[in-house]
Amino acid sequence: MVERRAVMVERDIAGRGVRDPGVIVAMETVPRHLFVPEHLAEFAYDDNPLPIEEGQTISQPYIVAAMAEAAEIKPGDRVLEIGTGSGYGAAVLSRIAGEVWTIERHCPLADEARRRLQRVGYDNVHVICGDGTLGWPENAPYDAIVVTAGGPQVPTALLEQLAEGGRLVIPVGPETRGQSLLRVTRHGEEFREVNLGPVRFVPLIGEQGWVEPGSEPLFEPTPIVPPPRREGLAGLSDLVRESSEPFDSINRVDLGALMDRIGDSQVVLLGEASHGTSEFYRMRARITTELILHKGFTAVAVEADWPDAARIDSYVRHRAPSGPRFEAFSRFPTWMWRNREVREFVHWLHDHNAEIDDPARQVSFHGLDLYSLYRSRDAVLTFLEKHDPAAAAVARERYSCLTPWEHDPAAYGRSVVTGEFEGCEDQVVETLTDMLKKRLDYAAAGDDAFVEAAQNALVVANAERYYRVMYYGSRDSWNLRDQHMFETLQLVRSYRGPDAKVVVWEHNSHVGDASATEMGARGEHNVGMLTRRQFGDDAYLVGFGTDHGTVAAATDWGGPMERKRVRPSHPDSYERVFHDTEVPAFLTPLRHPHRVELREELDEPRLERAIGVIYRPETELQSHYFQARLPHQFDEFVWFDATQAVIPLVTHELEGMPDTYPFGL
């Protein structure tokens, strides 16, 4: 645990810009695994919040460190903490300050925190059960007060308990969905406020806070200082407008200048800010047709499963499907690829390839993702049964290890992590290895058939690992998935020829360079980051954004598709900057901007919205926004101020279609 704690501090604390030596030492010293429930101890040094008793959470380590640094705590300081939780934050503060008082409104939590602190021998921390919004006047004044919950305004009681020169760090916002982190410093009877940026905390409950989560405050919020003026934002929006290329129709947009900027790029990554917005799909299709017709692109690779995309590939290249029969794109979320927008593009590809006699010049269609564990398994067995029945029998026996979890792959990972089941890693890797060793023996099957089968075997191996790793933390599973998608992209280029050009369709969170976002600070990489490392300027990354409209999404994983209304963008977001241009749709070059100062002006980190297949507008700030530096994340940004949900395919539209039709029932 000591080594993991050191890695966490280097990667997630110092690596994200915390510089205070006292804070660094405190984070290296305090054993976080002793402040979380025992069954979550293995996740203690991931930079994530974790659930604790009484339905509460322990803050992620970076937030604890950042708030401690913001409070400018010195040795000997008297510190008050509001919101004890598990006691971890107070423990960190106690390694810097002279004495710490911490208040928790849940008495069982306070008792457990007291026991944990005593267990590690931190005897300069005093735990109190009470209303934190009232502070603890018995031991005031305090050199620093740290509040770990978001209130509607700064409680007057806490201001009164600050010592001269004392610092109060607190999240404040008019809604419980998100706040601004403030540092308030006392100078006599004057309180000077600094806004440290947007944050997301649980509500501060109490007499001078929220009555209960989601309710109105007991008094009308009044800020200590007037809210920030908007001249800077308006000026930035003017600069964006002057640096952009507006258009009024996706069908009529002139993409000549964009094609010039793309130049001789070998890989073009086209993003989306949601998985269910019509304009994003249609604009990607429009750009892709230009790349195919005028730039010689011969492959489209998308955020979809390999065997499902292979059905489209067979259709657009006028080939008979080679794998087992199944209903393509039938797993959640079906609307992501079974929609009218994708169907129109697939029909265009089908017609385009019909005019090309040379198969090497036809445009192929591929899936990059790894969720098709069992469908890929079936494809491998179908190939082996046709070309190597003996190997098929061995593979079937090996793959039978996975059969009990066919209807819930996530349960497989859970059973392995908890020790209930040994796992199938060796079996699936052996099947892949055997196939690769016998490549020459399978030459008679043809390169296309072998590549399809071998990639499906790789999908099985990586998917098996993915479902195990996902229980060890989000960073590892995210990195495994994006590494797989990048390696599949490389495979597609190799398969289509050494100079093949590929266009990629994925979410912004995959195609934008992760090193320019908080993902990179968490140690996560993605396809965009890996592609830039590999191709440099021969990769062109295009992001998409919107302010408001509708989106096809679910409320929960596996739930039904809903046509949800997208909330107007957050005031501290890039989306608000683009919305305030008052231009309905435009392209903004970022690598080579029309106004050279644009990159510098947009470089200040801001919030950026990401809606996936799940959309929860009621918790939008917590669930769908992240910090980013847009000019470093993308080479180009496509903006649609108002957008509409994709139109999913319905049964009557598919009746009478041939068996080879990829969207067939």
- The mean-pLDDT minimum among 14-23, 239-248, 624-633, 656-665 falls in 656-665
Residues 409 and 459 sit within 8 Å (Cβ to Cβ):
no
Task: Using DSSP, state whether 17 is helix, strand or coil.
Answer: coil
pLDDT digits (tens, 9 = 90+) for 100-134: 999 999 999 999 999 999 999 999 999 999 999 99
The pLDDT of residue 650 is 75
The pLDDT of residue 220 is 36
Just list the catalytic residues.
Answer: 59
Residues 103 and 80 sit within 8 Å (Cβ to Cβ):
yes
Considering the domain architecture, whether residues 536 and 607 belong to the same structural domain is answered as yes
Alpha-carbon gap, residue 536 to 497, rounded angstroms: 20
In the DSSP assignment, the letter for residue 634 is: -
- The mean-pLDDT minimum among 139-148, 230-239, 354-363 falls in 230-239
Considering the domain architecture, whether residues 139 and 207 belong to the same structural domain is answered as yes
Q: For position 250, which CATH number holds?
A: 3.40.1660.10
Joined tokens for residue 294: 């005028």
The pLDDT of residue 536 is 95
Neighbours of 137 (CB within 10 A): 10
Q: For position 128, which CATH number holds?
A: 3.40.50.150
Asked if the structure places residue 254 within a domain, the reply is: yes
Q: Quick one: pLDDT band at residue 233, thresholds 50, 70, 90?
A: low
Nearest Cα to Cα of residue 29 among 2, 4, 48: 2
**Domain containing 38: what range?**
2-228
Considering the domain architecture, whether residues 543 and 641 belong to the same structural domain is answered as yes
CA dihedral 104, 107, 109, 110 (to 10 degrees): 60
Sign, CA dihedral 196-199-201-205, equals positive
Residues 48 and 40 sit within 8 Å (Cβ to Cβ):
no
Considering the domain architecture, whether residues 122 and 132 belong to the same structural domain is answered as yes
In the DSSP assignment, the letter for residue 33 is: G
Considering the domain architecture, whether residues 237 and 158 belong to the same structural domain is answered as no
The pLDDT of residue 664 is 52
Share of the chain above pLDDT 90, in %: 66
Nearest Cα to Cα of residue 452 among 310, 600, 642, 608: 310
Mean pLDDT within 565-580? 96
Sorted by sequence, the CB contacts under 8 Å of residue 32 that are 6+ apart come out as: 5, 44, 45, 58, 61, 88
Per the rule left: phi > 0, alpha: psi between -120 and 50, beta: everything else, 471 is alpha
Asked if the structure places residue 552 within a domain, the reply is: yes
pLDDT digits (tens, 9 = 90+) for 538-563: 999 999 999 999 999 999 988 999 99
Alpha-carbon gap, residue 128 to 277, rounded angstroms: 50
Task: Using DSSP, state whether 104 is helix, strand or coil.
Answer: strand
Task: Using DSSP, state whether 290 is helix, strand or coil.
Answer: helix
| One-letter amino acid for residue 136 of the chain | W
pLDDT digits (tens, 9 = 90+) for 489-531: 999 999 898 889 999 999 999 999 999 998 887 788 999 999 9
Considering the domain architecture, whether residues 154 and 266 belong to the same structural domain is answered as no
Residues 586 and 257 sit within 8 Å (Cβ to Cβ):
no
Angle between helices 373-387 and 389-399 (to 10 degrees): 160
Considering the domain architecture, whether residues 64 and 157 belong to the same structural domain is answered as yes
Alpha-carbon gap, residue 629 to 516, rounded angstroms: 5
Asked if the structure places residue 180 within a domain, the reply is: yes
Considering the domain architecture, whether residues 102 and 234 belong to the same structural domain is answered as no
- pTM of the model as a whole: 0.67
Alpha-carbon gap, residue 590 to 607, rounded angstroms: 17
pLDDT digits (tens, 9 = 90+) for 305-355: 999 999 999 999 999 876 666 678 888 899 999 999 999 999 999 999 999
How many domains are there within the chain? Answer: 2
Alpha-carbon gap, residue 194 to 228, rounded angstroms: 11
Alpha-carbon gap, residue 473 to 498, rounded angstroms: 37
pLDDT digits (tens, 9 = 90+) for 480-491: 999 999 999 999
Q: Quick one: pLDDT band at residue 223, thresholds 50, 70, 90?
A: very low
Asked if the structure places residue 58 within a domain, the reply is: yes
The pLDDT of residue 198 is 76
